[in-house]
């Protein structure tokens, strides 16, 4: 299940606030994040994103595709995000399952577009779930358009906000058009968030083409986007939680910087599915105490930046 701090103004619950970082801790993590972004930088796969970073004042090495972001560029990007001062906590289901257990036959199989509709209809009926995240990706449609098919099936099956798993600029545009059909246009879509978008950097410190395409297209359309790191302590990030939070923060802030350099003032959400690695199985320890601590710390970082947050957990 994922929890979003400060989604739509209506609905949601008060939620629990857990402070695990001191003010000095937050300052130290932020300072080290700026150091990582300026000295180490992030790998950026797509040429258009490299151009945007270069035009925005970053140091771009096109041979290695490394982008190094000066602290003032990062700080300006954070400052240009619409400020968020808290709101109700909203809940969604988790995404995106690769297999489906048929509730009628008990068969475990690949999901279909009809299964997406059923999952969205179920979420629509659950009063404690506020938003629908793409529970499964349909496998009975072409892979190139699966996100669009899933978005369409969900929008027709729930009145709640639909998380579209777009992985290209084209998918963002088409899913946005589907949402616009429900609310009267893209301008109205910016006010009535019937479709949400999100991306995941690749840890450690990589912005792949699919992520940057979605970030850029969302920014150009003026639509909110969630930048969600999935760093794993002891695997793709340092084994210490402090070190993992620095890597996580650098990945999220690099995506936020790209969004703001594309279109100043576009809304963004600070996201996390960061956890620790189970060293016995080399798997993400979702639901572990470490993940709870990371989630609480990430929410504090988001509040420090006056950004809404989306925290994934069990």
pLDDT in tens, 148-196: 999 999 999 999 999 999 999 999 999 999 999 999 999 999 999 899 9
pLDDT tens digits, 28-78 = 999 999 999 999 999 999 999 999 999 999 999 999 999 999 999 999 999
- Cα separation, 312 vs 296, in Å, equals 11
- 48 found inside a domain: yes
| pLDDT (0 to 100) of residue 9 | 43
pLDDT exceeds cutoff 50 at 8: no
pLDDT tens digits, 249-290 = 999 999 999 999 999 999 999 999 999 999 899 899 988 899
Cβ–Cβ < 8 Å for 50, 44: yes
Q: 174-183 long-range CB contacts below 8 Å, 24 or more apart?
A: 174/148, 175/147, 175/148, 175/151, 176/221, 176/223, 178/148, 178/151, 178/152, 179/151, 179/155, 182/155
Owning domain of residue 275: 21-83+198-312
Q: Could you report how far apart the first and last alpha carbons of the chain are, in Å?
A: 5
CATH number for 246: 3.20.20.480
- 185 found inside a domain: no
- 35 found inside a domain: yes
- 104 found inside a domain: no
- 213 found inside a domain: yes
- 223 found inside a domain: yes
pTM for this prediction: 0.93
Please give the tally of structural domains in the chain.
1
- 14 found inside a domain: no
| pLDDT (0 to 100) of residue 4 | 76
Written as six digits, the tokens of 137 are 């990706």
- 136 found inside a domain: no
């Amino acid at each position: 299940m994922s929890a979003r701090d400060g989604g739509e103004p209506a609905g949601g619950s008060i939620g629990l606030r857990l402070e695990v970082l001191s003010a000095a801790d937050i300052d130290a993590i932020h300072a080290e994040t700026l150091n990582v972004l300026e000295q180490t930088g992030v790998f950026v796969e797509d040429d258009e994103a490299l151009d945007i970073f270069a035009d925005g004042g970053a140091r771009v090495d096109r041979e290695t595709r490394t982008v190094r972001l000066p602290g003032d560029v990062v700080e300006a990007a954070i400052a240009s995000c619409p400020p968020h001062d808290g709101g109700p906590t909203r809940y969604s289901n988790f995404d995106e399952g690769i297999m489906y257990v048929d509730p009628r036959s008990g068969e475990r199989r690949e999901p279909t577009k009809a299964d997406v509709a059923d999952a969205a209809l179920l979420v629509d009926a659950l009063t404690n779930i506020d938003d629908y995240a793409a529970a499964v990706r349909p496998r009975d449609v072409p892979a190139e358009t699966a996100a669009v098919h899933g978005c369409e099936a969900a929008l027709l099956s729930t009145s709640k906000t639909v998380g579209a798993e777009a992985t290209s600029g084209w998918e963002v545009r088409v899913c946005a058009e589907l949402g616009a059909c429900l609310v009267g246009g893209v301008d109205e879509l910016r006010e009535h968030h019937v479709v949400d978008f999100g991306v995941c950097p690749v840890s450690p410190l990589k912005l792949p083409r699919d992520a940057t395409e979605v970030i850029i297209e969302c920014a150009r359309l003026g639509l909110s986007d969630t930048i969600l790191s999935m760093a794993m302590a002891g695997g793709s990030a340092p084994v210490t939680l402090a070190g993992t939070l620095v890597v996580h923060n650098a990945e999220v802030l690099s995506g936020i910087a790209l969004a703001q350099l594309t279109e100043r003032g576009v809304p963004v959400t600070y996201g996390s599915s960061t956890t620790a690695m189970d060293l016995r199985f080399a798997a993400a320890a979702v639901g572990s105490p470490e993940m709870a601590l990371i989630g609480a710390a990430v929410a504090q970082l988001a509040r420090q930046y006056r950004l809404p947050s989306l925290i994934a957990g069990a």
